Structure 1
């Protein structure tokens, strides 16, 4: 690709590198410079115009953006027609965004003209939401560099893809103490309904039990043998140890604890486990708030049927410091809060 200043007559047939506006003449960026344009530029006393000419082996920006977007788009992704060197990728349906970060990083390192940006990995998305954009920042890129980027993209199974929601039936158990108002439990369930609505999920079983291992175990066993595909336990007091009430009740019915704790705040006291093949979440206290917290990150992955391992959870620390929530005023300040186990 040739780029640089040319006399108007020599620029005929080339693209204008920048928009040019003068009395009686307007040439838009990227437009082909015509003989008439050259005459007007000469008449206006313009000695040079910055122009672009493609050479053999160059791929124009729109074609390059479209090709690279096509190479990276996986399941559940659609691509809009390119414009000004940009191709945008959108979610075809609701789900959780999966991104092969290593592949995207490699693509971005191939040439400075290639830029590929995505939303955050594992972000819940809705149908029609933009999830990524490819922008070729020069007017063209060499076929060799583009082919290199396409090869990286095709070396993985959909560098950008949408995991559709798979689980839709939720079982919920709330444990109770004398200090916990029933209205708090009711409010928590309403907030959960709003949380899972974008995934098309609903609560199919709801129970309440004393915050005691035996009472909770009985409710867990009953819900685990029902239609629920995912079980959530909202404790009157959040889990503070693997031997606490919620994990003890899970193991009492033959379940297992996969992991306790996460480096996301709010959300530190989250617990994940299984009873048979059904995942169980011991919700942290912050899950009672409608504001984003660590519970959201794990909940939506599970609703999409994605595995959540200890390694997955413990890799969330960078970016895991979230905003404070109203229900727990400034707990990081060191001052005593009304409920010190809501994390």
Structure 2
């Protein structure tokens, strides 16, 4: 900070508010702290009695907060985001599309470890609607060393993208519903309507639903039939508990599925199974998906619809944050469920 003549202040940054007083009319700020002085401002400063002012001088080693924030946001933003105008050293990022929010948490932490920089985001791996504010990139001081911005840009380049919103793909979903009580018509299937509603919300559709008894061979045949029809994902319902006659996992294995995980560290949803037939995922859903608004299904399915192939590690990481409190009014995804990974 230094005092300069207003005649020399063009392009420099005010370190303080400048007050204008017009007797009997007004008293207020003529220029805000952080304002970059323009040539046309000089006469007004003189008119209100300011021949000398205190400024930060922006040069090749220093950046004004708004210029730095713009560079910050541009480096951080990947696909599916739009940037707001810089104001007071901050640029907000909003979802340009409805999709799955992805945040590179490791890179985010490295950037926030750089002094005088701050990036705050929503949790990763949740569906966000177009227009949702998902992050803010903030410069703390009025001016910042250019080198710090170069550091964050290098981190973002190494880990691109730091943040993005991935569009969900339109999958054709094959459903295998097991249970002799449903197959023989003793009770009505309640799982199908739940799945249809959720997949419609995510932009996908049910290709075909097949009802089979609790028989591993029949389950395997149904899965193979759906694969032959061109299903992009297969969901099995029923038969996922530890009862001896719950044979859905055996049916998935018999059909040739590669089991990634049987059991998940989430409540509700511990009896979940994930398998793959080549690149085609098979989700074995426990009964809780039918009557709980938010379960492991809501944590896993959107990521697959966004084009991710999940590993066992992806499932095990759900344990931190994997306890749903089953609130009277569900606020998911505006809660901690599944956000600890």
TM-score scaled by structure 2? 0.79
Within 5 Å, give how 1:94-105 maps onto structure 2.
94-105=98-109
- Closer, same or farther: CA 35–206 of 1 in aligned 2, 3 Å: same
Establish whether residue 109 from structure 1 lines up as the match of residue 108 from structure 2: no
Q: Is the 8 A contact 2:172 2:232 kept in 1?
A: yes
Task: Report matched runs for 1:284-295 at 5 Å.
Answer: 284-289=286-291, 291-295=293-297
CA deviation after TM superposition for structure 1 residue 167, in Å = 4.6
> How has the CA–CA distance of structure 1 residues 259 and 155 changed in structure 2, closer, same or farther, with 3 Å as cutoff?
same
In the TM superposition, what is the alpha-carbon distance from 1:243 to its structure 2 partner?
A: 9.9
* Structure 1 segment 136-151 matched on structure 2, within 5 A: 136-151=139-154
- Distance across 2 between alignment mates of 1:230 and 1:159: 28
Moved more, 142-151 or 27-36: 27-36
For these two proteins, the number of residue pairs brought into alignment is 314
CA distance in 2, matches of 1:278, 1:265: 26
Task: Render the CA deviation track for 1:117-147: whole Å, top value 9, x for unaligned.
Answer: 2221211223333222211122121111111
**88, 98, 108: which one pairs with 1:84?**
88
CA distance in 2, matches of 1:96, 1:241: 36
Mean CA deviation greater in 151-160 or 92-101: 92-101
Which whole-Å CA distance do the structure 2 matches of 1:280 and 1:312 have between them?
Answer: 15
* Higher mean displacement: 122-131 or 62-71: 122-131
| Structure 2 equivalent of residue 306 of structure 1 | 308
Tell me the TM-score normalised to structure 1 length: 0.79
Alignment check: 8 A CA contact 2:118 2:139 kept: yes
Match of residue 340 from structure 1: none
Quote the offset at 1:250 in angstroms: 0.8
Answer yes or no: is the 8 Å Cα contact 1:291–1:325 preserved in 2: no
* 1:21-64, Cα deviation, whole Å (9 max, x unpaired): 9883111643569786788799xxxxxx9x65334322111111
Instruction: Tell me what 1:268 maps to.
Output: 270
Question: Closer, same or farther in 2 for the Cα pair 1:17/1:230, shift >3 Å?
Answer: farther
Residues 129 and 19 (structure 1), Cα distance of their counterparts in 2 relative to 1, 3 Å cut: farther
Task: For residue 323 of structure 1, report the CA deviation from its aligned partner.
Answer: 2.1
Distance in 1, Cα, partners of 2:243 & 2:84: 50
Aligned to 2:249: 247
SS in 2 for 1:281: strand
Please give the alpha-carbon distance, in whole angstroms, between the structure 2 residues aligned to 1:76 and 1:181: 47
Q: Which runs of 5+ in 1 are unaligned?
A: 43-48, 327-343
Q: Secondary structure at the match of 2:265?
A: coil
Asked whether the equivalents of residues 107 and 162 of structure 2 are also in contact (C-alpha less than 8 Å), the reply is yes
Find out whether 1:223 has 2:222 as its counterpart.
no
Q: 2:237 aligned with 1:238, yes or no?
A: no
Shift of the 136–170 alpha-carbon distance from structure 1 to 2, 3 Å rule, reads same
Tell me the CA shift for residue 105 of structure 1. Answer: 0.9
Alpha-carbon deviation of 1:87? 1.3
1:297 is aligned to 299
Q: Is the 8 A contact 2:176 2:223 kept in 1?
A: yes
Q: Name the CA shift for 1:232/1:61 in 2 (closer, same or farther; >3 Å).
A: same
1:170-209 superposed matches below 5 A: 170-178=173-181, 182-183=187-188, 185-186=189-190, 188-209=191-212
Q: Distance in 1 between matches of 2:244 and 2:311?
A: 17
Contact 1:167/1:304 (8 A) holds in 2: no
Name stretches of at least 5 consecutive residues in structure 2 with no aligned partner: 329-341
- 1:334 equivalent in structure 2: none
Change (3 A) 1:137 1:123: same
Larger deviation, residues 66-75 vs 51-60: 51-60
**Is structure 2 residue 71 aligned with structure 1 residue 67?**
yes
CA deviations on 1:65-115 (whole Å, 9 max, x unpaired) are: 11111112223333222222111223332322222211111111111x211
Give distance in 1, aligned partners of 2:72 and 2:304.
30
Q: Which residue of 1 aligns with 2:284?
A: 282
- Tell me the residue number matched to 1:336: none
Deviation track 1:261-288 (CA, whole Å, cap 9, x = no partner) reads 1112112111000234321000122211
Is the Cα contact below 8 Å between 1:98 and 1:122 reproduced in 2? yes
